[in-house]
Amino acid sequence: MSIGLLGTKLGMTQLFNDAGNALPITLLQVGPCMITQIKDTKSHGYEAIQIGYYECNYNKLTKPETGHLNKVGAPSFRYLKEYRVKSIKEFNVGQNITVNQLKIGYKVNISGLSIGKGFTGYQKRHNFSRGPMTHGSKNHRQPGSIGAGTTPGRVFPGKRMAGRMGHNKVTVKNLQIIDINIDKHLVIVKGSVPGKPGNLISINYKQKTKND
């Protein structure tokens, strides 16, 4: 069964395995999440569940969001996200989904917003090479020609130039779960997770290991 959870990135550190090797790990605060809506094929054309995460004050939400949550008696969740499932028979509105659905050794896909770098030049943003550094060169970090003159007489859209870098949705696949703390809703995964500490992350269950 496909499982989707929302959480928060707490930070990175390292752990030592039985062989004495240092493993880079990321600590995540995952859930608890509540099912706020169930969509079926008859009414929406597909089967999916919507979950809510991170309770906040009602004044942080819009009136449509408040009415949507009050309709099912749910708390004021700051974040709502939809996950497609193969079958909705196992889910009910108001059901809580926690880290109990995950196990040590599972592989998951984690999505989040990458760290924003601000406005950067073409070298940093697109990994272009620089100009010659010899005496007399006037093209060290300049982009140079960006298109022909008379024909077409314009710059094509999508030209790789300087601009805002980062703050994009990034998904890292097949991150292995190293440890789980059910009481504190903590999950430790091997490797790095997009974003900075405190960012919202989305976890998708990937597959089981042979030992499950």
Note the pLDDT tens digit of each residue in 96-134.
888 888 888 889 999 999 999 999 999 999 999 998 999
Does one domain contain both 159 and 174? no
What is residue 88's predicted lDDT score, i.e. its pLDDT? 84
The three-state secondary structure class of 209 is coil
Does one domain contain both 174 and 108? yes
Q: How far apart are CA 104 and CA 37, in angstroms?
A: 29
The answer to whether residue 212 sits within a structural domain is no
Does one domain contain both 99 and 138? no
Does one domain contain both 31 and 130? no
Does one domain contain both 78 and 157? no
Does one domain contain both 52 and 109? yes
| Cα-to-chain-centroid distance, residue 49 | 18
pLDDT tens for 47-97 read 888 999 988 888 888 888 889 888 888 888 899 998 888 888 888 888 888
Does one domain contain both 134 and 200? no
The answer to whether residue 61 sits within a structural domain is yes
Confirm whether pTM is higher than 0.85: no
What is residue 209's predicted lDDT score, i.e. its pLDDT? 40
Domain with 151, as residue range(s), is: 118-165
Does one domain contain both 175 and 148? no
What is residue 194's predicted lDDT score, i.e. its pLDDT? 92
What is residue 3's predicted lDDT score, i.e. its pLDDT? 66
Does one domain contain both 35 and 53? yes
Does one domain contain both 94 and 197? yes
What is residue 114's predicted lDDT score, i.e. its pLDDT? 94
Q: How far apart are CA 98 and CA 199, in angstroms?
A: 19
pLDDT tens for 135-182 read 998 889 888 888 888 888 899 999 999 999 999 999 999 999 999 998
